[in-house]
Amino acid sequence: MPDAPLPCCPDGTAVHERDLDHVHGFDFDLFACERCGSPWIWAWYAGRGGWEPVTPADAERMRALAPEEVRGFMRTWARDFD
């Protein structure tokens, strides 16, 4: 579970929605704020993590992807994490 408050609602609860696999050395998970519904990515690297913004459209796509499609989508989405 993320150990940092959500940027949108610091006292809100992060609800885990989907494991997005390991890409470019990061482990990505999709969360949503229980209070306002904003989607966020928790990005883990070398034991540290942080919140990354994700557009509602990208979050919806991440939720809808078949398991075999997640890695390819995340390689493109996370290309700047490289």
- Segment 1-38, tens digit of pLDDT: 688 999 999 999 999 999 998 888 899 999 999 999 99
Strand partners, 16: 31
Query: Quick count: other Cβ atoms within 10 Å of Cβ 58?
Result: 15
Q: Position 62: which residue type? A: M
Strand partners, 30: 18, 41
pLDDT in tens, 30-75: 999 999 999 999 999 877 889 999 999 999 999 999 999 999 999 9
Q: Contact at 8 Å (CB) between 26 and 45?
A: yes
Secondary structure E strands in 1-82: 14-23, 26-33, 39-45, 48-53
